[in-house]
Structure 1
Amino acid sequence: MKRYIVFVMLLFSLDSLAQQLDVGWDYPIKPGTNEWKNLKSYEEQLNSYNIPSEIIKKISTEELVKTCLAYPEWRMINAYSDRQAGLANVIGLFNGFHELLVRHDAAKELIKVYVKMDPLVIDRNWTSLQKGTYSFQFTCIEMLLSHGVIVRQLDETDIRVLLNEAISKYKSKKQMEDMCSLWYLSPTAGLCLSILEKDGLLIKSNSDLQLFQQTFMTEDIEILERIIEESEKRIKL
């Protein structure tokens, strides 16, 4: 029930991300507008988000990252019981993601955005909708950063920066008693696990970690804590 409520909240809040991220490519037709309502099918609505072919190659990777993070259908990632399946579905809906994943500098531009994000910015006086909208931005970017194509772009400096940031954000999230949940923490730990698995060592003999890597979902905080512990060891090497 709690996940359903969060999902419904996101239906009405994600178009504000474009303004918050100062998007280079702004979606010309947005959910809730008259133009949106006049489209005859959900397929037409999805197609209206796609960036024209004559424009997409001209958009900088920096702008493309912001555009992808502000994609209005990110909410669909939570329509699945498996977050990885949800991510694959969302990526398949929008040509901006396809373009981002072939950009050689995609990882570095995503990292630039991620390091500026702070879970503790959330004000206790914010409404539940405001808190949910802001916290969901972390899920979006952490899931993108965890994608295999992005992880393979990481050099050693990127790995250390990203692990440090993810560990810090994980600990910050845990400080927020009214927001902290396994649902909120899992993408952060999942990002760390994806980076650790680049070394190919951690999950081979651990079935719990293997399952978590497949879904980015768990009901066991100890799995997340172990990933963070291993991440802290990795950055000390």
Structure 2
Amino acid sequence: MKHRMEMLSQRILWKRNRQSKEYEYPIQSGTSQWRKINTIQDKINLCCIPEYILKAISSKELVTLVLNYPLIINLFAYNSYKIGIDTVAGYFNGLSELIHRDDIGDLLLDLYSEKEINEDMDSSSYLQLCVIEMLLAYKKIYQKLQGDRIIQLDYEVDQKQKQRKAAHIYRKTESIFRNMFHETGISSVREDGKLLETDFILTPNGTKVKVLKLSDYSVAEKELCYKEFKKVYPNSAYVSPCTYNYNCHSYAFYQSSPDNIYWMNNPSQYFMDRSYLFVGNQPTANHQRIFYDVPRNTHSGIVLDYKKNIIISKWGSGPLVIHHYRDCPYYTSFDELINYYDRNLSI
């Protein structure tokens, strides 16, 4: 009850901020108040912008709110930047509204043009710049630009790439705009346009599964990514740093080690060939596999404590994390979309 009252009190702050024309979220990640929020759904609900504010604010103010969204790091937790935007826009009304504003392309381009990348940028500022690039490449926003503005955007993208190279600390994020624009995501195309190295592994029942070898973050990018995830999910335990070397499915079903080198987009063969057998929508033992069966946004992990619903999972290109199954970027508030599997020991 106390926690719910605190949440209600924070919602009222939106009204106070509206009267003072200072639009800020009622609660900020990285604070003691934020640490008290134990599920992703409560975080989402608390950071939802009241409709009367959403309809009243200018597009410029809306851009600021979206870039400061406490859960914006979730954009990096999925198999592609497009999936990240589509997923976050599905639960954050601020991003959904921004995508549909007619003047948002020009506003984002103006803001992007003002930014300059250097090695001294703090993690939050660099993250916001990456988000701006994602949004400008998102087709529904890109299509709002016309004529010379498209030429200007191409120029600015080239300039930002040169600035990243000059800083000597960025690598994987150099091509965010182009990857997002072509919607390659984690596919068979590398940042420089060449094919990625692909391989095949076998399920316990001998079925081939396609996997990828991806280029990884630089040290600076890993630190930035880790810092932002830890700020948003402070109640989790962080086992290994952010990396593109492997993802959740590969960790859960192929090799449960930070030394894993494969990224697996689709683990369905493990279920189809009965290497793993369906248990139900609740875990019954430790070491079972949890599978978030959400369209376009599947996620896998390993049950560490089935009585407390604690799992370990790799968050996209983010860190390897021990967390409650409801406190991660993938929980949708529907337990019926969560399935548990056990290894088929009869194989």
Quickly say closer, same or farther: Cα 1:214–1:39, change in 2 above 3 A. Answer: same
Quickly say closer, same or farther: Cα 1:76–1:187, change in 2 above 3 A. Answer: same
Q: Judging by fraction of residues, say which structure has more helix.
A: 1
Partner-residue secondary structure (3-state), 2:193: helix
Among candidates 76, 79, 82, match of residue 81 of structure 1: 79
Unaligned runs of 5+ in 2: 1-20, 195-347
Return the offset for 1:175: 1.4
User: Distance between the aligned counterparts of 2:191 and 2:136, measured in 1?
Assistant: 22
Q: Judging by fraction of residues, say which structure has more strand.
A: 2
- Count of residues paired in the alignment: 174
Quickly say closer, same or farther: Cα 1:216–1:70, change in 2 above 3 A. Answer: farther
Contact 1:107 1:150 in 2 (8 A): yes
User: Distance between the aligned counterparts of 1:184 and 1:168, measured in 2?
Assistant: 14
Return the offset for 1:85: 1.6
Among candidates 143, 146, 149, match of residue 152 of structure 1: 143
Aligned AA (2:63): V
Contact 1:187 1:216 in 2 (8 A): no
Return the offset for 1:163: 0.9
Structure 2 equivalent of residue 30 of structure 1: 28
User: Distance between the aligned counterparts of 1:190 and 1:88, measured in 2?
Assistant: 16
- Cα deviation code 1:35-60 (max 9, x no counterpart): 43444632111111111111111110
Structure 1 equivalent of residue 116 of structure 2: 118
User: Distance between the aligned counterparts of 2:23 and 2:187, measured in 1?
Assistant: 32
- Cα deviation code 1:67-122 (max 9, x no counterpart): 111111121122223232222222223110111112110111111110100113x3
Aligned: 1:187 with 2:157: no
Structure 1 equivalent of residue 166 of structure 2: 175
How many percent identity over aligned positions? 28
Structure 2 equivalent of residue 223 of structure 1: 193
Among candidates 130, 145, 152, match of residue 139 of structure 1: 130
Quickly say closer, same or farther: Cα 1:188–1:218, change in 2 above 3 A. Answer: farther
Contact 2:82 2:138 in 1 (8 A): no
Partner-residue secondary structure (3-state), 1:101: helix
Aligned AA (1:110): L
Quickly say closer, same or farther: Cα 1:25–1:101, change in 2 above 3 A. Answer: same
Among candidates 98, 101, 106, match of residue 100 of structure 1: 98
Unaligned runs of 5+ in 1: 1-22, 195-211, 225-237
User: Distance between the aligned counterparts of 2:125 and 2:31, measured in 1?
Assistant: 22
- Cα deviation code 1:158-213 (max 9, x no counterpart): 10111111111111111121x221x211213336xx3xxxxxxxxxxxxxxxxx63
Quickly say closer, same or farther: Cα 1:217–1:170, change in 2 above 3 A. Answer: farther
Q: TM-score, normalised by structure 2?
A: 0.46
Give the structure with higher Rg (CA): 2
Contact 1:77 1:87 in 2 (8 A): yes
Q: Which has the higher contact order (CA 8 A, sep 6+)?
A: 1
- What is the RMSD of the two structures over their aligned residues, measured on CA atoms? 2.5
Contact 1:190 1:216 in 2 (8 A): no
